[in-house]
Structure 1
Amino acid sequence: MHLIAISINHRTADVALREQVAFKDDAIRSANVDLFETKSILENVILSTCNRTEVYAVVDQIHTGRYYIQRFLARNFGFEVEEIKAMTEVTVGDDAVRHLLQVTSGLDSVVLGETQILGQIRDAFFVAQEEDTTGTVFNHLFKQAITFAKKAHNDTDIADNAVSVSYAAVELSKKVFGKINNKKALIIGAGEMSELSLLNLIGSNVTDITIVNRTVSKAQQLAIAHDVKYESMEALPQLLAHADIVISSTSSDTYIITDHMISSIQSQRKNDSLVLIDIAVPRDIEPDINAVQDVFNYDVDDLKGLVDANLKERQNAANEILQRIPAEIDAHNEWVNMLGVVPVIRALREKAMNIQEDTMSSIDRKLPGLTERERKIISKHTKSIINQMLKDPIKQAKELSSDKKGNEKLELFQNIFDIEAEQAYEPKKKKRNVATTSQIFSFE
C-alpha cells in the first residue's frame, strides 16, 4: 500500500495546457470510477480546478501506479504519456501527504492563502466517496487534511489580507468607510480587472453597483451577468456626483476622470467622501485630484504597497502553517501504523473473552444453583482478571506500531498468543474483475 499524488498545476504547466487537462464537472464522477477500475489503483480522489488537475491515489506499487495514472490522464485528454509526464509533479508517501496538506490550506495556490481550494478539495473528496472510490486510508486522510486547513485558517491571518490588486481596491475602500455594503459603487471599464473588482464588491455585500464603459454593449453584458446596473460613458459626471467608490480600469490613453470633472460636482456631493481607485496603466484618473477635500485618490502603486505588505503578512502566516505540517504527517503515519496493530489487539481480546465465556459456561454447569447476582459478580471479576492480564501485552502491541521491525514482531506476538489477526488493510473490491499488477505487468 503506497500513497501517491500526481499534480498538474501553475508551476508545471501554463494556462493553455491546464485548460486542456481539466475535467468538466459532469465528467468527474465517471473519471473517478474509471480510474478506480484501473490496474494498481486501490483508492483515488480526483481534483480539477481552473489552476490544477490532481490525482491522489493509494496504489499497490509506486512505479506502476504512477504509470497507470499518467496513462489515464493522457487517454482522457488526448495526450501522449510522455507529454503528461512532462507536465506532472509526482509526490509519494510523506511528500504526498505534505502536498495535500499544503494544497488544502492554500499554501500551493497562485494566490497564497486563498480559501476557495479548501471547498474544492472537500467537494472532490465527497464526490469520490459517493462513487465509492475511497476507502480506509483516504476516508481518514482527507478528513484530516480538511480539518487541518480549517484550523490553520482560523488560527492565522493567512486569508485576511488582500494580495490581488482588485481585492486590495475593495479592501482600501473599507479602510476609508468601514462598512461598504450600503455604499454606491461605480466601475469604469468592462475588462477582466473590472470584473474581478465587481466580484469583490459583490462579495463584500455591495448591491448598488453601476458599470460604465465606452462600448456600452460590453458594460451591458457584464452587468446582466452579475445582476447590476450599467450606463454609457456620457453619464459619468452625473454618476460621480452620487458615487462613494469608483474603481477604474480601462485602456484609455487619456484621463477618464479629471480634476475639473471632480471640482464641477463638489457642490452636489455635500462633503461626502469619494474614494477613487485607479488600477489602470496608463492611469485613468488625474493624479492631482487628491488635493480636493474629502476625495481619496489611489493609483496602482498605492495598491501595490498594500498588496506587498499583505503578502508579507500572509507569508508569515504560511510559515507558521508549514511548521505544523510535520506533526500532521507524523499523526497520519502513526494512524497507518496502528492499522496493523488494531486487528492483532482485537484478535487478542476476542480470544480472551472467548476463554472467559467458556469459563462462565463451565461454572454454570458445575454450580447450577448460583443466583443471578452471584453469577454477575463472578463474571465481572473474571473479566477484570482478563483485562488486567491484557493491559501490558496490549501496551506492548501498540508500541510495535512505531518499531522498524514492527511487522516481524507483530507476527511473533501472534504466534506467542496463538491468534490470527485480520489483514491490516483490505483493498476495496472493484466493480468488475481487473487483473492486478502482480498478474499483469505491461507498459503498452
Structure 2
Amino acid sequence: MHLIAVSINHRTADVALREKVAFKDDAIRSANVGLYETKSILENVILSTCNRTEVYAVTDQIHTGRYYIQRFLARSFGFDVEEIKEMTEVKVGDDAVKHLLQVTSGLDSVVLGETQILGQIRNAFFIAQEEDTTGTIFNHLFKQAITFAKKAHNETDIADNAVSVSYAAVELSKKVFGKINNKQALIIGAGDMSELSLLNLIGSGVTDITIVNRTLSKAQNLAMKHNVKFEAMTSLPQLLANVDIVISSTSSDEYIVTNRMLQSCASERKNDSLVLIDIAVPRDIEPTIDAIEDVFNYDVDDLKGLVDANLRERQNAAEQIMQSIPNEIVAHNEWVNMLGVVPVIRALREKAMNIQEDTMDSLDRKLPGLSERERKIISKHTKSIINQMLKDPIKQAKELSSDKKSTEKLELFQNIFDIEAENAYEPKKETTNKVSNSQILSFE
C-alpha cells in the first residue's frame, strides 16, 4: 500500500496548459469513478481548480500506480503520457502527505496563505467520498489535513494580510475609512485587475459600486456580471463629486483623473475624504492630486510596499506552519502502523471473550441454581480478570506498531496466542467501524 500525489500546478505548467488539464465541475465525479476502476488504484481523490489539477491515490505499487494515474490524465485531456509526465510533480509516501498538508493550508498556492483552497480540498474529498472512491486511509488523512489547515489559519496570521495589488487597494481604503461597507466606490476600467478589485470590494461589503470604461459595452458586461452599476466615461467628473473610493486600472497613455477635474468638482463634493487608488502602469491618476486636502492618492509603488510587508508577515506565518508538518506526518504514520495492530487486538479480545462466554455456559450447566444477580456478579468478575490479563499484551501489541520488524513480530504475537487476525486494510470500500476500533485500542 503506497500513497501517491500527482500534481499539475503553477510551477509545472503555465496557465495555457493548466486550462487544458482541468476537469469541469460536471466531470469530476465520473473522473473519480473512472480512476478508481483503474488497475493498481485502491483509493483516490481528484482536485481540480483554476491553478492546479491533482490526483491523490492509494496504490498497491508505486511505479504502476504512478503510470496509470498519468495515463488516466493523458487520456482524459487528449495528451500523450510523456507530455503529462513533463508537466507533473509526483510525490510518494511522506512527501505526498507533506504536499497535501501544504496545499490544504495554502502554503503551495500562487498567493501564499490563501484560504479558498481549503474549501476546494474539502469539496474534492466529499465528492470522492460520495462516489465511494475513498476508504480507510483517505477518510482519515483528508480529515486530518483539513483539521490541520483550519488550525493553521486560526493560530497564525497566514491569511490576514493583503498580498495582491487588488486586495491591497481595498485594504488601503479600510485604513482611511475603517469600515467601507457604507461607502460609494467607483472602478475605472473593465479588465482583469478591475474585476478583482470589484470582487474584493464586494467581499468587504460594499454594495454601491459603479464601473466606467472607455468602451461602454465592456463596463456594462462587467457590471451585469456582478450586479453593480455602470456609466459612460463622460460621466466621470459628476461621479467623482459623490464617491468615496476610486480604483483605476486602464491601459491609457494619458491621465484619466486629473488635478483640474478634481478641483472643478471639489465644491460639489458631499463627502469629506476621497481615496484614489491607481493600480495602472502608466498611471491613470495625476500625481499632483496629492496636494488637494482630504484626498488620499496611492499608486502601484505604495501598494507594492504594503504587499511586500504583508508578504513577509505571511512568510513568517508559513514558516510556523511548516514546522508543524513533520509532527502531522509522524501522527499519520503512527495511525497507519496502528491499522495492523487493530485486527490483532480484536482477534485477541474476541478469543478471550469467547472463553469467558464458554465458562459462563459451563457454570450455568453445573450450577443451575444461580440467581440472575449472582450470575451477573460472576460474569462481571470474570470479564474483569480477562481485561486485566489482556492489558499488558495489548499494550505490547500497540508498541509493536512502531517497530521496524512489526509484521514479523505481530505474526509471532498471533502464534503465541493462537489467533488469526483479518487483513488490516480493506481497499476500495471502508466497512470497519471507527468507534469499535477506538474502543479496541483503548482496551476498555
Q: Encode CA deviations 1:363-417: one digit per residue, 9 max, x unaligned.
A: 1111111111111111111111111000000000000010000110000000000
Instruction: Give the CA deviation at 1:266.
Output: 1.5
Is 1:77–2:77 an aligned residue pair?
yes
RMSD of aligned alpha carbons: 1.0
In the aligned structure 2, how far is the partner of 1:81 from the partner of 1:63? 14
Indicate the residue corresponding to 2:367 in structure 1: 367
Counterpart of 2:13 in 1: which secondary structure?
coil
Partner of 1:16: 16
Check the 8 A contact 1:4/1:56 in 2, yes or no: yes
Unaligned runs of at least 5 residues, structure 1:
431-444
Alignment of 1:15-414 (within 5 A): 15-270=15-270, 272-414=272-414
Given that 1:4 and 1:91 are in contact with CA atoms closer than 8 Å, whether structure 2 keeps it comes out as yes
Q: Quick one: which amino acid aligns to residue 356 of structure 1? A: Q
Over 3 Å counting, the alpha-carbon distance change for 1:166 and 1:133 in structure 2 is same
CA distance, structure 2, for counterparts of residue 150 and residue 429 of structure 1: 27
| 2:114 counterpart SS class | coil
Residue 429 of structure 1, CA deviation: 6.2
State the alpha-carbon separation in 1 of the partners of residues 9 and 427 from structure 2: 29
Q: Is the 8 A contact 2:242 2:271 kept in 1?
A: no
Does the residue aligned with 2:293 lie in a helix, a strand or coil?
coil
**In 2: Cα distance, 1:372 partner to 1:226 partner:** 74
> 3-state SS of the aligned residue for 1:158?
coil
Amino acid paired to 1:31: A
Structure 1 stretches (4+) deviating beyond 3 angstroms?
none
Q: Could you say what secondary structure the match of 2:90 adopts?
A: strand
Please tell me the residue identity of whatever aligns with 1:135.
G
1:291, CA displacement in angstroms?
A: 1.3
1:290 is displaced (CA, Å) by 1.3
Residue 439 of structure 1 corresponds to which residue in structure 2?
none
- Using the alignment, how far apart are the partners of 1:78 and 1:263 within structure 2? 59
Partners in 1 of 2:47 and 2:428 — Cα distance? 21
The structural deviation recorded for 1:259 is 1.1
Q: Which amino acid aligns with 1:70?
A: Q
**What is the CA–CA distance in structure 2 between the aligned matches of 1:387 and 1:221, rounded to whole Å?**
72
Whichever residue aligns with residue 91 of structure 1, its letter is: K
Which residue of 1 is the match for residue 436 of structure 2? none
Aligned length, in residue pairs: 430
1: CA distance, partners of 2:69 / 2:167 = 37
Q: What letter matches 2:267 in structure 1?
A: S
| Partner AA of 1:370 in structure 2 | L
Letter of the 1:306 partner, please give it. Answer: L
Residue type at the aligned position of 1:267:
S
Give per-residue Cα distances to partners, 1:13-68, cap 9 Å, x unaligned: 11111111111111111111110010000000000001100000000000000000
Q: For residues 151-204 of structure 1, what are the alpha-carbon distances to aligned partners after superposition, in whole Å with 9 as ceiling and x for unaligned?
A: 111111101100000000000000100100000000001111101100100111
> Which secondary structure state, in structure 1, belongs to the residue aligned with residue 340 of structure 2?
helix
| 1:406 maps to amino acid | S
Distance 1:422 1:328 in 2: 28
Q: Give, in whole Å, the separation in 1 of the partners of 2:215 and 2:16.
A: 28
SS of residue in 2 equivalent to 1:402: coil
How far apart in 2 are the matches of 1:273 and 1:180?
12
Aligned to 2:241, what secondary structure does the other structure show? helix
TM-score, with structure 2 as normaliser: 0.96
CA distance in 2: counterparts of 1:424 and 1:331, whole angstroms: 18
TM-score using structure 1 length: 0.96
Q: Which residue is 2:435 aligned to?
A: none
Secondary structure in 2 aligned to 1:56?
strand
Counterparts of 1:370 and 1:336, CA distance in 2:
47
Residues 271 and 294 of structure 1 are in contact (CA less than 8 Å); yes or no, is this contact kept in structure 2? Answer: no
**C-alpha distance after superposition, 1:253-311 (max 9, x if no partner):** 11111111111122122461000000000001011111111100000000000000000
Q: Distance in 2 between matches of 1:93 and 1:234?
A: 61
- Residue number in structure 2 paired with 1:438: none
Q: In structure 2, give the amino acid aligned to 1:391.
A: K
Q: Which amino acid aligns with 2:414?
A: Q
Closer, same or farther: CA 361–92 of 1 in aligned 2, 3 Å: same
Q: Partners in 1 of 2:429 and 2:54 — Cα distance?
A: 23
Which ranges in structure 2 are unaligned for 5 or more consecutive residues? 431-444
SS of residue in 2 equivalent to 1:242: coil
> Is contact 1:213–1:233 with CA below 8 Å preserved after alignment?
yes
Query: What amino acid sits opposite 1:137 in the alignment?
Result: I
Is 254-263 or 237-246 further displaced after alignment? 254-263
Q: Contact conserved, 2:244 with 2:271, CA < 8 A, in 1?
A: no
Helix, strand or coil for the counterpart of 1:19?
A: helix
- Check conservation: 1:105, 1:118, Cα contact below 8 A: yes
SS at match of 2:401: helix
Task: Tell me what 1:435 maps to.
Answer: none
Report how far residue 209 of structure 1 moved.
Answer: 0.1
Match of 2:2 in 1: 2
Letter in 2 for 1:95: D
Code of the aligned partner of 1:332? H
Once the 2 structures are TM-superposed, how far is the Cα of residue 104 of structure 1 from its aligned partner? Answer: 0.4
Amino acid at match of 2:169: A
Amino acid at match of 2:86: A
User: Which shows bigger deviation, 110-119 or 256-265?
Assistant: 256-265
Distance 1:382 1:340, change over 3 A: same
The residue type paired with residue 96 of structure 1 is A
Corresponding position of 1:437 = none
